[in-house]
Amino acid sequence: MKRIKSWTPGIIVLAISLGFLGCNKSKDSDNPKDGKTQTPLFTLLPAEKTKIDFANTLTEGLNTNVLMYEYFYNGGGVAAGDLNGDGLDDIYFTGNMVPNKLYLNKGQMAFEDITATAGVGGRERPWKTGVTLADVNGDGKLDIYVSYSGNVSPESLKGQLFINKGNDANGIPQFEESAEKYGLGAPSNSTQAAFFDFDKDGDMDMFLLNHNPKSLPILDEASTADILKKDDPLTGVRFFKNDPKADGTPYFTDITKKAGIQSSPLTYGLGIGIADVNQDGWQDMYISNDYSVPDFLYINNKNGTFTDALNASIGHTSHSSMGNDIADFNNDGLPDIFTLDMLPEDNRRQKLLAGLDNYELFDFNVKMGFHHQYMRNMLQLNQGQGGKSKVPVFSEVGQLSGVSNTDWSWASLFADYDNDGWKDLFITNGNLRDFTNMDFVKFMGDHLKRIEGQVKREDVLNMVYQMPSSNMKNYLFQNKKDLTFTNVADNWGLGEISNSGGAAYSDLDNDGDLDLIVNNINKPAFIYQNDGEKLLKNNYLKIKLEGDGANKFGIGAKVTIYNKGQKQYLEQMPTRGYQSSVSPVLHFGLGKENIDSLQIVWLSGKRESVINPKVNALLTLAEKNAKVVKPGMETANPLYNVVQSPIAYNGKASTTNDFKRQPLLINPISFSGPCLIKGDVNGDGLEDIFAGGGSGEAGKLYLQQKGGTFTSKPMPAFEADKQSDDTDAVFFDANGDGFQDLFVGSGGYATFMPEDPLLQSRLYLNDGKGNFSKSAGALPKMITSTSCVRVADVNGDNKPDLFVGGRVIPGRYPETPRSYVLINDGSGKFSDQTANLSAELANIGLVTDAAWTDLNGDKKPDLIVVGEWMPITVYINVNGKLENKTSTYFDKQYSGWWNKLLLTDLNGDGKDDLVIGNLGLNSQCKASDAEPVEMIYKDFDDNGSIDPIMSFYIQGKSYPYVTRDEMLDQMSIMRTRFQDYKTYADATVKEIFTADELEGAKELKANYLKTAYFEQGANGKFAERPLPFQSQISPVYTITAVDFDKDGNKDLLLCGNVSKARLRFGKYDANFGVLLKGNGKGGFAYIKQDRSGFNLKGDVRSVLPVGDKLLFGINQQEIKAYQIGKVQ
Amino acid sequence: MIHDVTNPPLSARFFAYACLAGYEVVSQNDSAYKSMHGILNDYPQMTKPEVSTFSYQLSAVLAMLETAKKMQPSGALLQTYQAKLLDSCRNEGVSEEVIAGSQEYAVAISKQILKYAKADKYNLISNFPRYEPEKTPGTWYPTPPGYFPPVEPYFNTVRPFTLDSAAQFRPAPPVAFSEDKNSAFYKLMRLNYDDKKEPQHRVMAAFWDCNPFALENKGHLLVGMKKISPGAHWMGITNIACKQGKTDFSKTMLINASVAIGLMDGFMTCWEEKFRSNRIRPETAIRKYIDPTWTPFLQTPPFPEYLSGHSVISSSSAIILTHYFGAKFEYTDTVEERFGLKARKFPSFIAAAEESGMSRFYGGIHFMDAIENGQKQGVQVGEWVVKKLGE
């Protein structure tokens, strides 16, 4: 409402009428903080007040431009720290082409330019990049390291190290450039330096983040392997060990190769994060690399070397990784990793930069060891060490958390800006030339001339100059304390349009809250004053560290504060964000709380605890007060441990790509196996196992032996049907001879034709000794790709009947396949009586799972059916019919992309409750009642193929999630309709298709994508109950009730993931086996991964409890087994 | 088409139907020229529009424009060109009545041509599974820097104009892939690798590059460098020849239609082979088996190597043009001047076709057998088209 005040009277009438329309909306959007204040938290201070007039001004010319140096628009850095020892943080800015500036903090947010007197301006010539404040020589005073890069001579590529010699008579700190003297005189294309004590010998070592100033070369298998072998000190990242001379002067030696650090010319380092990610007491490194070059997670081996653990620890990374930050954002005491990329928030900008998914390029990158990279910010939630692994595992939750799309971003800084006890996230973004635009790529080249095949640089530059600036606002995400964030940049007063680069936080005015400093291109730097102390009045604690030896600032020290069972964790590492370093004073926000106790663990391992430290104060902790204490046993043993699987089933790898069959398919369908079921097939009282086979693999029968081992029993009948894809199976006595017969549902997608005979499901009869033979003619013709089979006596004749769910018509998604109710004549012969029982059930939808249960207490089985784009649907068995009574059991329609259901009593009231696996919330795609995901489909261009067009809401409006190139590829008629990207960018379905074309198009909707728990009340109705947020981090495909703590209350294990996802969505891999502890009343609590012990990677499609073990059927992998308790 | 980045086979399809629209008007009004009905596959007997006052020449040109406007993605851009054309007609004293009549006639013909075009099954292509590389040694895999999917892997399923099927002139199989240093294939690779990239050869390669979309990479800054496609180059040569040979309007239209039909059928036979043999490109092979740093002079276009499409359609075009202008027709090719490339003189169409084939070798994007066998196939297609159209 701030804006209305400034409106002139002439438009007040308009303002009032708008006010009415918008009153609801303004309620939630204009309250910056819990509705307590109308004034923004931050105020942008004018240069007149601060006397900071620095602007990172770029001058583009024939030799200074993005073609000469592709990182021309990457911006400059900021460093904050007290250089003159007056207790106030001073500020250093780097200017790429303009002089660097050092501003002395005079208090009250007034500063003085002391660059010249301090002698720290750096070299005049371009190209200055990052800046780091660190006490390199261990004298207790912060020194300044300035990095250089650009397409310039080697002499101009030498970094500068300004050693702080103390203040002169006027209190101005004096510096002496000593890079060469300290052994740091070698030139390199640097982004930034970071100082930390990697070998714990008490002094500062240096990591130098470098980048190749030349474009990514042509990469293919041959050249990539070749380039990766090279060691390039100029462009590859470097590592320097500090071995001080006899007089104590630091001296650095390049140990890159010896330390195990890859330093090839394929280096585009834009971010360095340093933290002890595996909590072993030694600091590790995360390196963000631009383009397809992979990021690195270097785990400190404690012996002077590092090992890259990216593959083992992280499922996927940002593609063009820029700045990063490592901090514990969910207050579980484990540092999480955040990396920035370029995915825009709004539909228009997304559409302007997206073309066709290129699976070949993606596969090539994976094959080259470049890992799975997708264009968006990645928030890697540290799940601790799974099992006995040395490396931590991370669940990537950026989309669930709401921080994945911040456009072309540079710096990210986690800190508690509102002092509420939870770290918020500040992100800078913007690019002076907005050239990731497909119209630019495809059409600007129309007018380029070539001489002898070459284009003149001037011509391309002229084109570049026509590109507008991206004109974006930075983001500030407030931590909502449940793994999610909300962007409050506008409300908190940070809504300026800018092209911002490096940034730093610091309590510049010592009032107990963090102010922000931002380096901008072609615009004065931002100094944002935080007025939280007045507006929010939250408590805080600031901590100054006094380390021993040459690590005076306590780099690597970990401070944890505890209060009422909650904790907060900080690790001292001022170099963070992008090209910048933050204040070395640690800052905790406390809300209205105090602190029960505080513990510091110095890098040396020495510890100190402080009980009830005084809050709203600056606390100084000195390492000399800390002691070597043997740490108590902090981590309990995992609940579950990996054991050898009792059955040696190995699903073979598949190269199938469902999106080659239908590029506009939403999620892959082919990869639904293996199914695992158990039953006693030979009457020896022991449970045997059937494992379904994928297409080309026969199903396998494993007979349990005494002692719990299994032997595989060859079965010619299964072998004969191995070309079918077994999607589900059930043991039941079909013909009443007392033996367990076997129904196997056939399914599959990409490798089958719609009328493929291999889609016929099968019934195998058991001779009582575990020999199965196919019962010819037992089943009606059912050429349907099925998903599930469920047994019940539907018609009350005491013979088991079947429901078989139809999943999809291969190649014709999302047309509705057949589903079946098969009635048993008693001899094991089944007839399709779907139409008699329920006409609508025959084509109910894309069914994924179902369950028979008696919902109304009439002792007759009723049917619950779920599926993709389907509401949870209830059929009640009345008078020999199945009647759709969904509305009797559910208050509203819950239409989702349901994968799997579990029907069991979870709250002990004797009634079955429902848990249903869904897509979850960790996706670009969101849905609600008001903003459902929609799918329209029809053969719009009349060419015989179904055109499925999915739309969902982005910023309040529904747009198709189909790029222009995909649309043109799907329908050649669109080529004349959308000649460029911008005409397509804003189009909705109604604008893409004519009214005629939309006539007869079918529509599917989903309003609910969460994995859900529905409790059945006394009235028989199902009511939604909450599940922990971790249930939503990945699509759920299995739900298993267990009781791991033997407390008699059912616990839940949720597994899933989707590996072969559509590229634009990216693979879903955040679920390692989510264990939820039940309290017996329907309440569930997440058990952390390092406690549960589950470390399942890949697409879990079945979980089978056998004896004291859980068997996990994982697509294209061997069966994994976990056992509860300690394993001998 | 440059704007839309239309791929080479598809642009041939656009040329062919546009030219056929123009020729249809001619054949209905100039008794010296017969209808394509009975000559081209499924070509219908077209209804003559009932228009009394019109210029058939103007109507023919307008029919081409009408057809191109509807078929090409950015066809609407031709509206400006059409307006200019009509203005200049008015300046020349053509009456509004004639203009209106010619326009009406053109639209009526264009509609029938578009109906014929729509039935060529091109629109069924998006129904096929998307191409997946075989990933076996010696087979094609998308090439850097764009790793674009291959263009038109199902072009052989489209209806040809004169051929029985796209497989009618199936060439000898390519030299078998082998990593063995003594193998014929290795020797082929060596030929490319050892080529000195002489200045005059570079000029040739650049002149005949005709890559509609080469991606230039400057970090996140990508620029697509565009040129006309090989087919467009030969359409340009056709019109240089017609101008120089002073052919009259009707004949010019016939020659244009013949060359365009040759382009379409040539690309069809060529593309049929490309996605049958799926052969590796020199860039991929040489970098893998000889020298990881080798780069071709031209950017490798995104589709399998064997046959060289440029060789096929240059030869078919040269045969057709020779049929009309003779074997010793000297001309100066100025087509690429607008792309900053100097004009080149040729003693005959065949000589030009030979050079254009060789340019693919000098450009480092084709092996010699793909060029030689491509030229053979092009000759077969050209002769076939000439024979069919002469019937």
**Where in the sequence is the domain holding A141, given as residue range(s)?**
69-267
Q: Which of A238, A267, A296 is the last residue of a domain?
A: A267
How confident is the model at residue A444, as a pLDDT?
A: 62
How confident is the model at residue A354, as a pLDDT?
A: 79
ipTM of the complex: 0.73
**Co-location of B283 and B366 in the same domain:** yes
Q: Are A893 and A1007 in contact (CB under 8 A)?
A: yes
**Co-location of A976 and A1060 in the same domain:** no
**Co-location of A110 and A235 in the same domain:** yes
**Co-location of B165 and B206 in the same domain:** yes
The stretch B19-31 carries a mean pLDDT of 96
Q: Mean pLDDT check: name the lowest of A44-53, A215-224, A807-816.
A: A215-224
**Co-location of B43 and B157 in the same domain:** no
DSSP secondary-structure letter at A757?
G
Residue A296 has pLDDT above 90, yes or no: yes
Q: Which of A435, A440, A442 to mutate to test the interface with B (most CBs of B within 10 A)?
A: A442
Average per-residue pLDDT for chain A: 92
**Co-location of A205 and A78 in the same domain:** yes
DSSP secondary-structure letter at B177?
P
Rounded-to-10 torsion of CA A188, A194, A195, A196? -130
Q: Compare all CA atoms of chain B with the CA of A939 and give the residue at the minimum distance.
A: B127
**Co-location of B161 and B284 in the same domain:** yes
Which residues are registered as beta bridge partners of A597?
A562, A611
Whether B126 maps to a domain, the answer reads no
- The more confident residue out of B255 and B144 is B255
Whether B128 maps to a domain, the answer reads no
The stretch A1016-1028 carries a mean pLDDT of 95
**Co-location of A87 and A226 in the same domain:** yes
Whether A582 maps to a domain, the answer reads yes
**Co-location of A162 and A116 in the same domain:** yes
**Co-location of A218 and A115 in the same domain:** yes
3-class SS at A660? helix
How confident is the model at residue B17, as a pLDDT?
A: 96
How confident is the model at residue A460, as a pLDDT?
A: 75
Q: Which of B221, B228, B297, B339 to mutate to test the interface with A (most CBs of A within 10 A)?
A: B221
**Co-location of B107 and B253 in the same domain:** no
The predicted-structure confidence for A462-519, as pLDDT tens digits, reads as follows 877 878 888 899 999 999 999 999 999 999 999 999 999 999 999 999 999 999 999 9
Q: How many domains does chain A have?
A: 4
Whether A397 maps to a domain, the answer reads no
Which residues, in sequence order, are CB contacts of A563 under 8 Å at separation 6+?
A590, A593, A594, A595, A596
**Co-location of B158 and B296 in the same domain:** yes
Phi, psi of A204 (to 5 degrees): -85, 120
**Co-location of A640 and A596 in the same domain:** no
3-class SS at B368? helix
How confident is the model at residue A448, as a pLDDT?
A: 56
3-class SS at A26? helix
Q: Compare all CA atoms of chain A with the CA of B289 and give the residue at the minimum distance.
A: A222
- Residue A412: Cβ within 10 Å count: 31
**Co-location of A963 and A1062 in the same domain:** no
Q: Compare all CA atoms of chain B with the CA of A467 and give the residue at the minimum distance.
A: B221
Q: Which of B73, B91, B120 is the last residue of a domain?
A: B120
Is B76 an interface residue toward A (CB < 8 Å)? yes
Whether A991 maps to a domain, the answer reads yes
Helix B230-244 and helix B249-277, axial crossing angle in degrees, nearest 10: 160
For A1077, A1113, B70, the CA distances from A1043, given in Å and listed in that order, are 8, 20, 67
**Co-location of B102 and B226 in the same domain:** no
Q: Domain with B146 in it: what CATH number?
A: 1.10.606.20
Whether A553 maps to a domain, the answer reads yes
The predicted-structure confidence for A951-967, as pLDDT tens digits, reads as follows 999 999 999 999 999 99
Percent over 70 (pLDDT), chain B = 95
The three state secondary structure string of B244-301 is: HCCCCHHHHHHHHHHHHHHHHHHHHHHHHHHHHHCECCHHHHHHHHCCCCCCCCCCCC
The stretch B30-58 carries a mean pLDDT of 95
Whether B131 maps to a domain, the answer reads no
List of chain B residues whose C-beta atoms are within 8 Å of the C-beta of residue A446: 2-3, 226
Residue B5 has pLDDT above 90, yes or no: no
How confident is the model at residue A632, as a pLDDT?
A: 61
The predicted-structure confidence for A22-31, as pLDDT tens digits, reads as follows 333 333 444 4
**Co-location of B225 and B327 in the same domain:** yes
**Co-location of B104 and B153 in the same domain:** no
DSSP secondary-structure letter at A636?
P
Q: Which of A466, A972, A1062 to mutate to test the interface with B (most CBs of B within 10 A)?
A: A972
Alpha carbon of B94: minimum distance to chain A alpha carbons (Å): 32
Nearest Cβ partner of A657 from B132, B216, B288?
B132
- The more confident residue out of A184 and A655 is A184
- Residue B47: Cβ within 10 Å count: 11
Number of separate helices (H) and strands (E) present in chain A: 23, 75
Q: How far apart are CA B264 and CA B256, in angstroms?
A: 12
Whether A139 maps to a domain, the answer reads yes
How confident is the model at residue B41, as a pLDDT?
A: 97
Q: What residues 427-446 of chain A have any CB closer than 8 A to a CB of chain B?
A: 433, 435-436, 440-446
List of chain B residues whose C-beta atoms are within 8 Å of the C-beta of residue A976: 70-76
Q: Compare all CA atoms of chain A with the CA of B4 and give the residue at the minimum distance.
A: A979
Is B290 an interface residue toward A (CB < 8 Å)? no
How confident is the model at residue B226, as a pLDDT?
A: 65
Phi, psi of A1116 (to 5 degrees): 60, 25
For A636, A825, A836, the CA distances from A143, given in Å and listed in that order, are 43, 88, 84
Whether B125 maps to a domain, the answer reads no
How confident is the model at residue A246, as a pLDDT?
A: 93
Nearest by Cα to A730 from A782, A673, A790, A777: A790
Q: Which of B94, B120, B146 is the last residue of a domain?
A: B120
The predicted-structure confidence for A715-774, as pLDDT tens digits, reads as follows 999 999 999 999 999 999 999 999 999 999 999 999 898 889 999 999 999 999 999 999
**Co-location of A646 and A613 in the same domain:** no
**Co-location of B102 and B144 in the same domain:** no
**Co-location of A246 and A229 in the same domain:** yes
Nearest Cβ partner of A971 from B126, B222, B339?
B126
Confidence of residue A943 (pLDDT cuts 50, 70, 90): confident
How confident is the model at residue A25, as a pLDDT?
A: 37
Residue A8 has pLDDT above 90, yes or no: no
How confident is the model at residue A454, as a pLDDT?
A: 57
Q: How many domains does chain B have?
A: 2
How confident is the model at residue A31, as a pLDDT?
A: 43
Percent over 90 (pLDDT), chain A = 84
**Co-location of B77 and B173 in the same domain:** no
**Co-location of A1068 and A978 in the same domain:** no
* Subunit contact A218:B144, Cβ cutoff 8 A: yes
- The more confident residue out of A1009 and B11 is A1009
Whether A876 maps to a domain, the answer reads no
How confident is the model at residue A595, as a pLDDT?
A: 97
Percent over 70 (pLDDT), chain A = 94
Helix B56-71 and helix B249-277, axial crossing angle in degrees, nearest 10: 20
The predicted-structure confidence for A517-575, as pLDDT tens digits, reads as follows 999 999 999 999 999 999 999 999 999 999 999 999 999 999 999 999 999 999 999 99
Residue A142 CB burial class (10 angstroms; 0-12, 13-18, ≥19): buried
- Residue A172: Cβ within 10 Å count: 17
**Co-location of B115 and B184 in the same domain:** no
How confident is the model at residue A635, as a pLDDT?
A: 60
Q: Are A920 and A958 in contact (CB under 8 A)?
A: no
Q: Mean pLDDT check: name the lowest of A316-325, A626-635, A702-711, B176-185.
A: A626-635
**Co-location of A1075 and A938 in the same domain:** no
How confident is the model at residue B218, as a pLDDT?
A: 59
Q: Mean pLDDT check: name the lowest of A260-264, A899-903, B69-73, B279-283.
A: B69-73
**Where in the sequence is the domain holding B267, given as residue range(s)?**
138-389
List of chain B residues whose C-beta atoms are within 8 Å of the C-beta of residue A751: none
Query: Which tokens in the block code for residue B321?
Result: 């043009």
Q: How far apart are CA A1010 and CA A484, in angstroms?
A: 15
Q: Are A1007 and A1072 in contact (CB under 8 A)?
A: no
* Subunit contact A358:B142, Cβ cutoff 8 A: yes
Whether A1084 maps to a domain, the answer reads yes
pTM above 0.80, yes or no: yes
Q: Compare all CA atoms of chain B with the CA of A365 and give the residue at the minimum distance.
A: B147
Whether A890 maps to a domain, the answer reads no
Confidence of residue A449 (pLDDT cuts 50, 70, 90): low
User: What's chain B's length in residues?
Assistant: 391
